[in-house]
Amino acid sequence: MVNLLYDGIKRMRLRKALLLCAGLFALNVHAQPNIPTPANWNFPDIADSARVIAPTNIAGIPFNEYGLAYSQDILANLDVLNLPATELQKYADVVTHAYPDATAERGMPDDCSQLPFEDLNETSFANIAYISINAIKTNNRQSAANCLLYLQTNLKESVRE
């Protein structure tokens, strides 16, 4: 009789352990972030799909047909070398708003010192700032933050010279 009772307790513990493992597995599967990626990167398709996810920027301004929330005149007057990421991020384009991780993984180099400065514009800085704050993956946020710091620091120094 004691052996039957002992076997019953062992089976109950095993059942509880299995249920606990199953529960932890389910939590882990559901805890994986859902990182949106576009069906294709061709313009205007990507801007259209991005506008479905993010119709406005973080300031609530709608994106235009070109994927921008601000006019070229406003963008051209941004002080991208001195604005903090928290301010710059609102000038990011619609694709970066909708797909920050996909944008980082597709277009951010591992080494920002290799970026040709003359190819960067105000929206480039804003996109990097947005990724540094809003990407889901920690490594994408950190890489973008490092890149923004590098670009702002080195461009400030080159302007002084």
Question: Amino acid letter at 99?
Answer: Y
pTM over 0.75: yes
Residue with tokens 């591992």: 110
**Cα separation, 155 vs 150, whole angstroms:** 8
Would you say residue 36 has pLDDT above 90? Answer: no
Which pLDDT band holds residue 111 (cuts at 50, 70, 90)?
Answer: confident
DSSP letters, the chain, are: -HHHHHHHHHHHHHHHHHHHHHHHHHHHHHHS------S---TTHHHHHHHHH-SB-TTSPBP-TTS-SS-HHHHHT--TTTS-HHHHGGG--HHHHH-HHHHHHHH--S-GGGS-GGG--HHHHHHHHHHHHH-SSHHHHHHHHHHHHHHHHHHHHHHH-
Domain parsing of the chain, residue ranges? 1-32, 45-160
Query: For position 47, what pLDDT does the model report?
Result: 94
If you average pLDDT over every residue of the chain, what do you get? 85
Asked if residue 44 has a cis previous peptide bond (ω within 30° of 0), the answer is yes
Local confidence band at 42 (pLDDT 50, 70, 90 cut-offs): very high
What average pLDDT does this structure show over 47-66? 96
